[in-house]
Structures are given as C-alpha cells and as structure tokens.
Structure 1
Amino acid sequence: MSTRTPLSIDGVVPWPEDVAERYRRAGYWLDTSITAHIADQVARRPHNEALVDGPTRLTYQQLWDKSASCAQALLDLSLAPGDRLVLQLPNCWEFVALTLGCFRIGVVPVMALPAHRRHELTHLAALSEAVAIVVADVDRGTDLREVAQQVAAGAETVRTVLVHGELTASPAVGSIPERSLAACMDNPVRFDERAYEPAGGDLACLLLSGGTTGLPKLIARTHDDYVYNIRRCVDVAEFDEHTVYLGTLPASHNFPLACPGILGALFVGGRAVMLPSPAPERALRTIDAEAVTVSAVVPAVAQTWIEYQREHHLLTGTSLRVLQIGGSRMPDELAARVEPTLGARVQQVFGMAEGLINMTRLDDDPEIILSTQGRPVSEADEIAVVDEHGNPVPDGTPGALLTRGPYTPRGYFRAPEHNTRAFTSDGWYASGDIVIRRPDGNLVVAGRDKDMINRGGEKISAEEVENFAYQVEGVEMAAAVAMPDPKLGEKLCLYVTVAGGHEVTLDAIVRVMSDAGVARFKMPERLVVVDGMPTTKVGKIDKKAMREDIRARLAHENTGV
C-alpha cells in the first residue's frame, strides 16, 4: 500500500472526497497500484510463464525485469511521473512490458489504437500534452515513423519518439531523434522501485472513448478504480492461475486489456498469449497449441471463427472454456452457435471504457446467456434506466442508461463542455445506450441514442465523417448513418446532396479523409446521392428514415425485387 500523496494532474476530474472515502472503507479501493498486484504474482511464481508472443515466452520474473528495463529507459529519457506517452503498438509482448514499465514509474500511457493515423494521433498527443510517442515501424503499408514525426510537429510537447522495429535509415533534418524500443528492453535493470511506487489515486492510464461527437475523448483511469475494475471482472469471469488468455483484439482497448483481459490473467498468475489479429486460422491453431482457456472477441470475429471451424475443423482440443463477446450486441442466433461449434460457453460482456461492465455469469441459464448482455459485475454499480425527461422507466421498458460507481470516473480528461452533457452534477454518467432492464437485473441492449456507427466494435462518429465530406467540392449536405452488415454488424453509409454542376464520388471523400491521415476503419463504404435530405416535423435531418432507406436498398439488391 502506497502512503504517497497522489499526483495532481490538471484535467482529471476527481471523485468527491466523501465518495472516495466511502469506497475505501467498503474495500473497493485498496490504495494499491496495478503493478503491486502483479508484483505479488512475480514473488509467488517467478518461473511460471506469464506471456507468450510467437516464439517469445516470458516468465513472470522475465516480464518483470523487462518492464523494469522499460521504466529505467523512460527515466533516462527524462520522462517523469505524471508525464503522458502516446502508446500505439500491435499486440506483442513489448506492449505489455512497456505498459507495466509506465505503470511502475507513474508515466501515463495514452492507449491509441493500431489503426489510428496522423489525424487521431495528433489529437491525442495535443490533448494529453504527451511528451513521447511509441509506434511500430510500419503497419499495413504505412510508415508510422513518418507519422510520428508529423505528430511531433503538430503537438509541440512531444520530444521523444520510440520505435518498435527498424529505425528510419535516413532521418530528415530537424526531425526528432528516434530511439529503439528493443534497446529500452535490454537496458540494465537499475530501477529503484521504492522511489516511484504509485499511489492508488494516481492516474494510471488514459483510455479512449468511442468518439461519438468527433475525435476520441480521454478517459482518466486511476490505479484505485482500475484495480477494482480488474478484480471484479476476474471474479465474474472466474480467472485463476490455470487461466490461459488469448488476446487478439487490440490490447489498448479496455475489453482485452482489463475486463479482465491481459492484466486480469497476470493478476491471478495465469498466462496471456498475444496475437496481432483475430484471423481465424492462426487464432484457432493457437488456441489448440497453447491450450487457451478463454478469449475475448467482437461478434464479427466470433462469426468468422465459427464459419472457419465448421469448414476446416482446426480446433481439435477441448481447452477453450469461455468465449467472451462484447463491443456490440451479438445476435441471439449467433450466440447459440458458439458452444456447439467452438466448445466454449459464451460470456456476454457489455461495458464501456468509461467504467460500468456487465457480464453474464458462467452458471447462468442458457436463456440469460444467449439473450441478454448480463448484469453489473459489482454490487456497488448503480444503474438507472430513464426516459427522455430523466424519469425512471419500469423494468421491461427501453430507456437511456445512467450509471455511477467505484470504477466509473466522474468526467472526461480536459473536456469540461462535454462533461456538462455526459455527467450529471451528482456523478451519473449518461452512456448513450438504450437498454431494457429485466426483472432479474440483466440488461438487454436495444440501441444507441447518439449518432454513432459501430463497425465491428470500432466506434465511428457520424459528425466527424460529415465534417470531412463538407471539404469535398460540391457537397451541400452530408449525413452519415449505419447500414447493416452481416459480418461487422454495421458499416458506414454517407448520404449527400450535391450542388448543381458538380459530381461527388465516394473516392473523392475517401481521398480527403486519407490525405488528412484518418484511420481507415472510419472511411465511408457506400455513398448515396439524393435530391434532398428527409427531415422530421421540426426540420431536423431524419437519420432514422435514412437507415430505413439503406436497409430497403440493400434488401432490394439482395433479392432483386
């Protein structure tokens, strides 16, 4: 337990002191750091395997030593407790070692996604005032070292670039010097643990919001609340020292990182296996080879695994016990195919990086597991389901979800205007989800009340896409909506009206977004040019009518009638 006073960082919204003290008295907050819990496992089982990444296999002691090397390397680069570091790496053992190294000295990782590019990374670096950025050398044909230099030019606080892979052969004059992440891992361990042990109230990391109103907002997670988040998810998912967790979703997402995820496996002395993608052939072979017991996927991935297993029968063992499914609602009929095909019980997970996590329990009746998204993992989670006026609705009635509790922060990082809309004065967070609460306490997700497209678990702001569309000459009005997709759940369709004498193409809109360095998953995949936008009775653009229109268009194309 740390006795140090937590660091004060401008922009972090604190819990009210009386509420924080109540959480401590109740034992929800332990005044310990994330790494203190992993250190306990290092002491208990130093020679047990902790992390696997292809041919690399690290014991708990080896992983701990690598994280200490990272911590010392960051200190040698003049990073200090409270400094922010934009972390963009694929799923690899280095991601885990560096994250733990940051936690150990109080450097705050900003959890960027591998798909992010200059547009998003510059925003994250500037908003967080990051002093460093960590990238892979190349990803899917994009030189991320060049992107990192562009980010440094656009965010004046960035002074250090760390590269996982090959350094730039001939760096441009005036560019920020690159450092090798591999060299950081090989640093002699000179790290003084006692000088840097974080306090429970210290900022641990900055997660990303779904970005429903433009670029992502930052979610401040402290060691106190994130430890509790992990502990409760560990208990409900029934992780223990025999757990072998396969991480295939981007590890910077809250779901595979801490619900309970990679950190949860390390909290209990289990083993985490890292894969750079959930591609079915390699994932299914790895499940067999590593005797994986649990993994976490989005519905689209679950569907590809089921289809691949039915066709190729790659899974021959019986180790896979649980398949957690979250990110978006899974169709009931798809959930019913998991156990007969993959041999694993489904655990539905509905939550948010802003806090609240709901899970079905492993011993729930099949009807609950297949048709609900579970119930809160903590008895301290407060839930309200309300109508448009904020009044509670009866169980069984759709309503907007409000929540608060010991791992749901009280505001976004440095976003006061948005906080006034998303958080009430007494700490309730409005998630934007429309849910139905059943009499048994389980929730059924019925939709969203915000303007967002959920593409296979990746959230896309309609507003952000529309703003880029308006940069294309000839676009008079633009409206982005979700269109159904059998694999991803939703894809992005853009409706536009066009000024006379102009022609607007999908390629032109995609080109504008690409030139701005926007992540590929945000690009519209269909363009519909209309004479006029449908409107509601009060004159607002009627996106409900557009979603119905694109469904009808797709149905016509699929049936030919």
Structure 2
Amino acid sequence: MAGKVYGIDYNLIMDWQFKTYGDKLREWSELYPKKVAIIDENEELTYYQLKERVFSTAIHLLKLGICKGDRIILQLPNCNEFVVAAFALFEIGAIPIMLLPAHREHEIGKIIELAQPVAYITYNNFLSFNYGDMARKLQQGTEIKFIIDNIDSVSKRYSHEELSKFLYEKPVFSDTAMLLLSGGTTGIPKLIPRTHGDYIYTNYKLAKRCQLSEDSVYLAVLPAPHNFPWGNPGILGTLSVGGTVIMSQYASPDIAFLLIEKYSVTFTSLVPALLSMYLEVIEWDDTYDISSLQFVMVGGSFLEKGIAGKVYSLLGCKLVNIYGLAEGLNTCTSLTDTKEVVISTQGKPISEFDEIRIIDEEGNEVPNGEYGELITRGPYTLQGYYKLPEINKERFTEEGFFCTGDKARISKDGNIQVIGRVREQINRAGEKIIPSEIEEYICEHQDIRECVVVGLPDNILGTRTCACVITDNNDLTHDEIRGFLESKGVTKYKIPDQLEIMDFWPLTAVNKIDKDQIVKDLMKRV
C-alpha cells in the first residue's frame, strides 16, 4: 500500500499496520472472544461483548446521520462506555474530540468554535456535576445536533449483526482517528490529529517495549481521554495484546491499591505528583497486597531521582520512565535497563524512524550531552495542529521537525534526559536557572519530601527564585536551605532567594503539579 511521511515509505516501517481501530477490534474479538477486555465498577466485558456493544452504538450513530469526518465531543469519565463510544466512532470514521471530565464551558466553547462538532457524548451527571446541562448550554448557536447521554442503553439496543446491513464509508489507516488535546496547562488546549495508523503503531511499539502480553492487567486511574493512559501504551496498548483493562473513576491510592489487589493488576501509569501520594500511603500502610504489580510507568512531567528510587523499595516493582507527547514522539526506558538509567533518563525512542535533534536558541544542534530544545519528526509524530496555521508556523521547522519546547539532552549511550520546559527556565538577573536541577538538590535534604522551584517577578533581579517545599519540619528556614545547598557546592546564583512551606500542591486536570497556580497563590501572599 502506497504512502509516505517525510520521505519514508510506510512499507519500510517495521511493525506498521495498514489498519484501522475497527479492523483491530474485529481481530481481537476473534483472537480472544471469551477473554475479559475491560472492567469498570458496574460490569466486565469480554472482547466479543465489547465488539457487540461497539457495533450497536455504531448503528445508533449511523441512524442519527453521523458519518465519516464528523467531529464528535467525547467527554466521559473512566468507564466501559468511554471505550465503547470511542471505538464506535472509530468504526464509522467519525472523529472523537477527547475532552477530559475536568473541562468546563470556557475551554469547551473555544474547542466547539474551532472544530464545529455535530454531536456531544457525555454522562448526564458525574460526581455531582451535571454534564448534560452544560452540553445543552454549549449547544446553543452551534452545529451540535445531538447530545447523547445514554451510551450504556444505546450500546445494548441493536444486534451487532445489523451493522452489516448499513452502507457507510469506512475510514482507512491514514484517516484521522481522533483529536487529542495538548498537555499544556495554560491557554486553550490545541487539537492534535492522530491517524488510525500512527496511533496503532504507537500502541504496538510501546506494548512491545513494556513486554505486555495476554497476561497483562492495566489499571487506568488517570483520565482515559488523556494520551498517556489512553495509548502510551495504556488502554489501547493493553487491548492490542489481549490483556485486561481496569477502568477506575478515582485516582486515590487507597482505591487503586484495592483494585490492584482484587484484579492482580500488573501495571499502571501515573504522573509524578500521584506517584508521590501512592508512595506516601504505602509507606505508612503496607497492608495492601500489591505483589502482582510488575512495573509502574511514570511520565507527564519531570520525575525527581529521590522519588523514582523509592518505587523499587516501597512498591516492590520496577519503574518505567517515559517521555510521551500527545503530538507523537515517545521515548521510555525498558524493563531490562539498570536502575540508574531508569531513575535519571526517559530511555530511548520507541521507533528506529524517530529523528531527534537538540538545538540551541539559534536553532543550531548542540553536542551530545549538552542541553537544548528537543525537536523531532517521525512516522507517528503530527505534521500540524488542527486548524492552527499560525501556531504551526511557530512550532515546525522548514524541514518538518516539531519543536517540543522541552529542554533535554542525549546521553553518551543514547538515552534521552528531559528536565522541563524551555519556558520554565528562570532568567535571574541574566543568569539561566533550570528549576529541576535545583529541585533535585533540595530534595536531598533530610527534611524535604518534595520541592517545586518557580520564578517570581522582582524589581531588581527581574525574576527571583522561590523554593516551595513540602516538609514535616515547619521550622525549616531559608538560611538552613541556603547553607545546605552551599555545602553541596551549588553555584550562588542558583540558590533560591525565597523559601515557602506548602501543605499540598495544586494540580491540573491530569494531576500534574500546576506551577502557574503556585505562582498565582504566592503572588496573592505577597
């Protein structure tokens, strides 16, 4: 089958599959018909039952007049209906816009304006919030014709065999399968088109790197519409090998540990802030039996070495450190990497066709081992955000490299080490400071559990540095931290100008530490 991306013939890409998710679901239901595919708090579905539910839902969507190319808002929590709805849309070629349950009118209104969806799939009520009312309010004056808040009943309404009676244009592997949302914490989320082919390739390569199999049991605690738990390898990677997915609507460690124990979960994916919570709970309550856990995959933001190292002793399993973009590129460590490699890097790219460069502020490549901005292109990395030509001009080079905005370096052995966002670099009186470097030093202090370094406006310095810490020693002083860092040999200008003791971290919708909110809160204190 013909097709090229950046001059690479798809036929030459090992493991590339010229298939859609509809094709894959049919394959899985034939290979593992009686195997349990997904479980939520209400029921479990085998692969065959999943196909039945998907096809019934697809019939309903077709009867409404929804067809290939239509954009559909999909805003559901972690539940079986989310998977069913997504695959029903994949089957008929409609394109789900993957909204998080935390998204509200301001963000969604902008997305509706940009994408002009024709339908909105959601729950009526979830966690005391009426999504149905919000959807109906957002529907006014838009192209949205249908609000579907009864996926559970729709998925049981028709015989799956009836789908063969419908004449509808099916998607092909190169068609857009979904619109993911960018992981940015500020502004309106950008829409990221991912094709059936490139996302299936991503699922497969990550499942292979993580050695997933039919025996794998994945616990989804992060919001399923997010790229990380959805496909890196997450839900889709687990299904691709005949494994079982547990859908949890709650991310709290006590519920997660009970589910791990009940279903013999073998792996889950967490962001660093959640991992810290899990480690803290298991440290003072080790009565949970989580011995089935083979590894925890951690990504989404910088993972401090001290926290990473505790995974092995407290959770009793391995750690997989991942750098994954909704825009495409994935690098991660493997289960055979040494502990030092895992806790200090994000491993190697998952595809031999990934191209990575590290550049300086002038766009020149830097020598291996030096930090700069990571730029990339490859067979599964996007070639442009959805309907955002001006942003695409800024984020892509003339050669088609995507500028990630992440500060990284390549080690001598080819591992990637990402330490934060380029824009998070603090300019203090002309000196450049990388927050993650200082955070790691401070976390070596015996009284410090966690640390976040941010920049605050300053009339003299331009920006002053503030170390925000979570500690059991509320008498800890700035002078003590200064002395500790000086004893470590930290350069004087890198030592934080201010110390703030925090009770907790504000979190984003995907449970990442919200540094912007920290700055806002500190400015209010001032």
Q: How does 1:94-109 map to 2 (within 5 A)?
A: 94-109=81-96
1:116 to 99, 103, 110: 103
Q: Structure 1 residues 431 and 20 mapped into 2: Cα distance closer, same or farther (>3 Å)? A: same
Higher relative contact order (CA 8 A, sep 6+): 1
Separation of aligned partners in 2, 1:552 and 1:137: 49
Separation of aligned partners in 2, 1:549 and 1:299: 16
**Which residue in 2 is equivalent to 1:333?**
306
Q: Structure 1 residues 425 and 371 mapped into 2: Cα distance closer, same or farther (>3 Å)? A: same
Q: 1:346 aligns to what SS in structure 2?
A: strand
2:137 to 128, 150, 153: 150
Look up the equivalent residue of 2:111 and give its one-letter code. L
What is the Cα deviation at residue 535 of structure 1? Answer: 7.6
Separation of aligned partners in 2, 1:153 and 1:535: 50
1:183 aligns with 2:183: no
**Which residue in 1 is equivalent to 2:11?**
24
Q: 1:554 aligns to what SS in structure 2?
A: strand
Contact 1:351–1:358 under 8 Å retained in 2: yes
Look up the equivalent residue of 1:375 and give its one-letter code. K
1:286 to 236, 259, 268: 259
**Which residue in 1 is equivalent to 2:485?**
none
Q: 1:191 aligns to what SS in structure 2?
A: helix
Separation of aligned partners in 1, 2:204 and 2:315: 27
Contact 1:111–1:206 under 8 Å retained in 2: yes
2:319 to 329, 335, 346: 346
Per-residue CA deviations over 1:129-160 (Å, capped at 9, x if unaligned) read: 11111222234443222211221125x11111
Q: Structure 1 residues 253 and 490 mapped into 2: Cα distance closer, same or farther (>3 Å)? A: farther
| TM-score of the two chains, using structure 1 as the length reference | 0.76
Q: Structure 1 residues 491 and 18 mapped into 2: Cα distance closer, same or farther (>3 Å)? A: closer
The percent identity for this pair of structures is 34
**Which residue in 2 is equivalent to 1:236?**
209
Separation of aligned partners in 2, 1:549 and 1:225: 40
Q: Structure 1 residues 556 and 358 mapped into 2: Cα distance closer, same or farther (>3 Å)? A: closer
**Which residue in 2 is equivalent to 1:87?**
74
1:554 aligns with 2:492: no
What is the Cα deviation at residue 194 of structure 1? Answer: 7.9
Q: How does 1:447-486 map to 2 (within 5 A)?
A: 447-450=420-423
Contact 2:453–2:467 under 8 Å retained in 1: no
**Which residue in 1 is equivalent to 2:114?**
127
Structure 1 unmatched runs, 5+: 6-15, 164-179, 454-480, 496-531, 537-541
**Which residue in 2 is equivalent to 1:372?**
345
Q: Structure 1 residues 278 and 388 mapped into 2: Cα distance closer, same or farther (>3 Å)? A: same
**Which residue in 1 is equivalent to 2:478?**
none
**Which residue in 1 is equivalent to 2:464?**
545
1:162 to 136, 148, 154: 148
Q: Structure 1 residues 226 and 18 mapped into 2: Cα distance closer, same or farther (>3 Å)? A: closer
**Which residue in 1 is equivalent to 2:171?**
198
Contact 1:284–1:314 under 8 Å retained in 2: no
Q: 1:300 aligns to what SS in structure 2?
A: helix
Q: 1:102 aligns to what SS in structure 2?
A: helix
Contact 1:393–1:399 under 8 Å retained in 2: yes
**Which residue in 1 is equivalent to 2:62?**
75
1:298 aligns with 2:271: yes
What is the Cα deviation at residue 378 of structure 1? Answer: 0.9
What is the Cα deviation at residue 487 of structure 1? Answer: 8.3
Contact 2:67–2:168 under 8 Å retained in 1: no
Q: 1:430 aligns to what SS in structure 2?
A: strand
1:311 aligns with 2:284: yes
CA RMSD of aligned residues (A): 2.8
| TM-score of the two chains, using structure 2 as the length reference | 0.81
Q: Structure 1 residues 67 and 490 mapped into 2: Cα distance closer, same or farther (>3 Å)? A: farther
Q: How does 1:201-220 map to 2 (within 5 A)?
A: 201-211=174-184, 214-220=187-193
Contact 1:303–1:487 under 8 Å retained in 2: no
Per-residue CA deviations over 1:64-92 (Å, capped at 9, x if unaligned) read: 11111111111111111110111111100
Q: Structure 1 residues 49 and 196 mapped into 2: Cα distance closer, same or farther (>3 Å)? A: farther
Q: 1:401 aligns to what SS in structure 2?
A: strand
What is the Cα deviation at residue 364 of structure 1? Answer: 0.4
Separation of aligned partners in 1, 2:5 and 2:339: 41
What is the Cα deviation at residue 549 of structure 1? Answer: 10
**Which residue in 2 is equivalent to 1:250?**
223
Contact 2:54–2:85 under 8 Å retained in 1: yes
Separation of aligned partners in 2, 1:117 and 1:557: 28
What is the Cα deviation at residue 556 of structure 1? Answer: 7.4
Q: 1:545 aligns to what SS in structure 2?
A: strand
Q: Structure 1 residues 411 and 306 mapped into 2: Cα distance closer, same or farther (>3 Å)? A: same
Separation of aligned partners in 1, 2:373 and 2:454: 24
Per-residue CA deviations over 1:200-228 (Å, capped at 9, x if unaligned) read: 11110000112366201100001111111
Structure 2 unmatched runs, 5+: 427-434, 470-495, 504-526
What is the Cα deviation at residue 552 of structure 1? Answer: 4.3
Look up the equivalent residue of 2:40 and give its one-letter code. D
Separation of aligned partners in 2, 1:337 and 1:43: 41
What is the Cα deviation at residue 329 of structure 1? Answer: 1.2
Per-residue CA deviations over 1:496-539 (Å, capped at 9, x if unaligned) read: xxxxxxxxxxxxxxxxxxxxxxxxxxxxxxxxxxxx85488xxx
2:332 to 348, 359, 382: 359
1:36 to 23, 36, 43: 23
Look up the equivalent residue of 1:545 and give its one-letter code. R
**Which residue in 2 is equivalent to 1:509?**
none
Q: 1:47 aligns to what SS in structure 2?
A: coil
Q: Which shifted more, 183-192 or 409-418?
A: 183-192
Q: 2:103 aligns to what SS in structure 1?
A: coil
Q: Structure 1 residues 360 and 187 mapped into 2: Cα distance closer, same or farther (>3 Å)? A: same
Q: Structure 1 residues 18 and 386 mapped into 2: Cα distance closer, same or farther (>3 Å)? A: closer
How many pairs were matched up? Answer: 458
Contact 1:34–1:226 under 8 Å retained in 2: no
2:390 to 417, 432, 446: 417
Contact 1:300–1:488 under 8 Å retained in 2: no
1:46 to 22, 33, 45: 33
Contact 2:465–2:498 under 8 Å retained in 1: no
Contact 1:206–1:221 under 8 Å retained in 2: yes
What is the Cα deviation at residue 184 of structure 1? Answer: 1.2
Q: How does 1:506-545 map to 2 (within 5 A)?
A: 534=459, 542=462, 544-545=463-464
What is the Cα deviation at residue 278 of structure 1? Answer: 1.5
Separation of aligned partners in 1, 2:74 and 2:286: 37
Look up the equivalent residue of 1:397 and give its one-letter code. E
